[in-house]
Structure 1
Amino acid sequence: MANDTRTRILETTALLLRQRGYHGTSLNDILNASGAPRGSLYFHFPGGKDQLVVEVTRDSVDKVTQRLGEVLAAERDPAVAVHHIYQAVGHMLEENQFTLGCPIAPVVLDSPADVPELAELCRSAFEQWIGLLQQAFARAGVPERRAHALALLVESSLEGLMVIARATRDRAPLQAVADEVAALIEGAVLVAEARQRTDAAV
């Protein structure tokens, strides 16, 4: 039962954070939505709201990082892998009826500088996600500098497109950009392969 209560508190907090951000989510909101008594919350999370939010955010980041890594590792062609990522984000938005987007974006927009551990967690999350994309492009032969720029493009477009899709309640923008970005990545890989063939022939 204790573990059920803890899990319920964590799941409720994760949902509220994605809907309202850090400052828009109060302990009373969490207690009311989870049905957990206040004593249980402090029993499981003696550090209160900050400890709870950090734990929830870390778990959300870990899940996204794991899934992103799996998609990129499963497909040798990074353009195809990235297209899959855009499609997965579109499905996620449709499944939650366009009410939830990136799990950390609302927290970042709340500027959690007063909780250093949370701010660092958000910074590190984007660094990890961009890094995984960059590594996938680099493995396909794209030079490091361009691989990094393409990774930034993918991550930033996904973040912006989630906002647009939620506002329009339509995943079509994700599909349109997915095709363009995949073509751009495919072109970068082809250029890299051509350069490698030229170097090998010299």
Structure 2
Amino acid sequence: MSNPRRPRRRQQRAIDTRQRILDTAGALFVADSYEGTSISDLITAARTSKGAFYRHFPGGKLEVATAIMENTLTMDGLVEQRIMLQEVVDIGMILAHRISHESALQAALMLSFHSSAPETYGTPWPDWIVFNAGQLTEARRRGELKPFVDPEQQAHQIAGGWAGVVLISNTLDRHLGNVEERVSRMYRNLVTAIAVPEVLPELDLSVNRGRYLYTAFLEGTPAPDRSHGETAEEPPE
């Protein structure tokens, strides 16, 4: 009698192997650059075989880079908020938290600024700009923005500001341990400039906002209720 669990186990092993290759590639691309990482380096570090590697990525290293880029801009952890500007802040804070912990996301940021990225493995920036522009357009419809704010132009500035903060932090500090604090400050300055005054006290701009939301997503639990601004008490560790 065949074991019905065996195909599921094989499928899970295949999923795990693919993810391990992506995670390993992210770490190698960050440490040694995309150009400085060979297929053999990747196979060895990922503890897999050449056959298994090419089953998952028949296009080789370029397909690995493409997969990393396609998995970069996710809405994981983002939940609907009463104030749309809170969602604008939340997605940036979630990504700031993730990039300080996930080598694949760090690699995606590095790859996204390569001059050939749009023509080769892609870049997430156009999608993020479009997404933020949609959020800001809705925020304007709800009366959350000052009259001068242009959603599309502001979306470009958010993407550029977020990326600049992360890149400069990584360059000057040689790590991303401070990036959540700096991105939080960036959003604080942003909303002070573009939001109508009555919205500001309602926004949660705390440094750990992204961590709370993403942890709740991973654990499958409701996100903490932090809807009354940044004065909310930090939960105990």
TM-score normalised over the length of structure 2? 0.61
Q: CA deviation at 1:100?
A: 7.0
Q: CA deviation at 1:78?
A: 3.2
For the pair 1:13 / 2:25, whether they are aligned, the reply is yes
Quote the RMSD (CA, aligned, Å): 3.2
* Alignment partners' CA distance in 2, 1:163 and 1:188: 31
Q: Deviations over 1:121-161 (max 9, x none)?
A: 21xx2111111111111112268981011111111111011
1:160-199 alignment to 2 at 5 Å?
Answer: 160-166=164-170, 167-168=172-173, 169-171=177-179, 172-187=181-196
Cα distance change on mapping 1:137 and 1:17 into 2, 3 Å:
same
* Alignment partners' CA distance in 2, 1:93 and 1:10: 15
- Count how many residue pairs are aligned between Structure 1 and Structure 2: 177
Match of 1:65, SS state, is: coil
Residue identity opposite 1:12 in structure 2: T
Match of 1:66, SS state, is: coil
Larger helix percent: 1
* Alignment partners' CA distance in 2, 1:29 and 1:85: 34
For the pair 1:112 / 2:112, whether they are aligned, the reply is no
Identity %: 21
* Alignment partners' CA distance in 1, 2:183 and 2:67: 30
Cα distance change on mapping 1:39 and 1:54 into 2, 3 Å:
same
Q: Which runs of 5+ in 2 are unaligned?
A: 1-9, 200-237
Cα distance change on mapping 1:130 and 1:83 into 2, 3 Å:
same
* Alignment partners' CA distance in 1, 2:68 and 2:37: 13
* Alignment partners' CA distance in 1, 2:138 and 2:188: 21
Q: Which runs of 5+ in 1 are unaligned?
A: 191-202
TM-score normalised over the length of structure 1? 0.70
Cα distance change on mapping 1:32 and 1:12 into 2, 3 Å:
same
Instruction: Indicate the structure whose relative CO is greater, using CA pairs within 8 Å and at least 6 residues apart.
Output: 1
Higher mean Cα deviation, 44-53 or 150-159?
A: 44-53
Contact 1:18–1:102, Cα closer than 8 Å, also in 2 = yes
Residue identity opposite 1:91 in structure 2: H
Partner of 1:158: 162
